[in-house]
Each structure stands twice: as C-alpha cells, then as structure tokens.
Amino acid sequence: MINGEVKQPSEKDILCIRLKALLEIQMLVFPSNNSYALSFWDKWDQRIRNAHNEDENEINEIYKRFENHKNNYPEYDQAFDQSDTLSDDYWETFSLTNSMYGVLVVAIWSKMESFLKDIILICRDTSEKKDKGSPHIFRKIIKAIKEETKVQIKLCDSYIIINAIRILNNTFKHNDGIYEPKNCKEIENIDKELLDKWKIKEKREIEFSELPIKELITACYSFSRDLIQKVRTELIKQDRL
C-alpha cells in the first residue's frame, strides 16, 4: 500500500501467480510417486480391478457348480454343458474392464490437454495474441507453446509417455482401440520401447487393462513440473516474468 492506495499487481506479477497456481492445481490432479496411493486415480484403478475380480470369481463359481452337476449326473452331461455361455460371460467381463481402463486413459489425456492449453492462454494474456485462444490439434499446441515461451515440450521429462497417452486416447476414441502406427508421422507413433514394455502390438486391439496406470500418472507429474519450470526460466530470460 502506497499513500493509502493498494498497489496493483503488474503483468509480471499476475503471470507469475497464474503459472504458480496452475502448477499447484496440476500437482493435485497428477500426484507424485509418493502420494499416488492417496489419489483418485488409484481409487478408480482399484474399483475397476476389484469389480473385474468379483465378476471373474462369480463366473468361476458358476463353472464349478456346472462341473459338479456333470460329474454327479453324467447321463445329463450335455444339458449341463454351459461352457459357451460362460465363455461369453468371461469375454463380456474382460471387454467391459478393458473399456473402463480405456475411459481412464481418455480422462488422463483430457486433464493433460487442458493443462497445455492453459499454459498457452496464460502466456497469451500478456502478449499481443491475447484474444487468439488456444489450438486443439497437438502439433499446433506444441508450436504455440514454443512461439509463446520458446520451450520445446518434446525435451521435457517423460514427453514420450505423454505423447503415448495422447495416442492411446485417440486409438480408444477413434479406432476401436486398435493401434495403427503412421509411418510418415513420428508424432503419431508410440515409442518402440514403450510398445515392447506395454506389450502393444501393431494392428491389434490394445489391452488398456494391462497399462501401468501409476506410471502414466507419475509421468504426467514429472512432465508438468519440468514444463512449468522451463516456461518460467524462458519467460525470465525474456523479461516477461
């Protein structure tokens, strides 16, 4: 306060506060390895996994009962043969579980995409592009962040996992969960090491239920922290922060 008047924050102050607040919110959304067990991501992972196990156990119990009937009444063997029905039930259980994990991946990417767009909007609020908004296509998001901050997000921690999450999201939403790499576009392909690690096969349906959800979430944490730090460093160099 100067001469009884409240000092108004400068554009630099506002930009600094908004970036700090954005990172703090992002750290709540995507926890570190140490706090993952307390996150809603872990809770949803456990809920889906437990529901799947309950259904699988119930199907196994039904199968055992039918097998006992077949053993006790061999003359009615065919009448008690429910193998086809039980196979269908098991497949439906697997399919639903896989879809639930696919939806979880979509939610992860949605949060990350919003974070990237918020960085662009926050930086543009103090530039000549204030009313331009933010792009929706990923390569344009990468370009916009570089134009606004000079940061190349491809150099940030865990970028290859972040891009993989985006591709998994698109595969689930737009290609029936079948991974089809595009040889002419590197950005549209999941890193080969990740493909091997996550057992993803080309032109095969992805087993979303086998993806390491914790690894995806903690990668988002590392990426977000590193990106904001790089943005802050570049904006300080430009005397915008």
Q: Write down the pLDDT at residue 129.
A: 60
Domain limits, the chain = 11-237
Q: What angle do CA 200, 107, 138 make, to 5 degrees?
A: 75
Q: Write down the pLDDT at residue 128.
A: 61
**Residue matched to tokens 């063997």:** 77
60 vs 118: CA distance, rounded Å? 48
Q: pLDDT tens digits for 142-195?
A: 999 999 999 999 999 999 999 999 999 999 999 999 999 987 788 999 999 999
Residue 80: pLDDT band (50, 70, 90) is very low
Q: Which two tokens stand for residue 191?
A: 């890193």
Amino acid at 210: E
Burial group, residue 16, by CB count within 10 angstroms (0-12, 13-18, 19+): middle
222 vs 2: CA distance, rounded Å? 41
Whole-model pTM: value is: 0.87
Q: pLDDT tens digits for 44-71?
A: 999 999 999 998 888 778 777 766 666 6
Q: Which two tokens stand for residue 208?
A: 């979303």
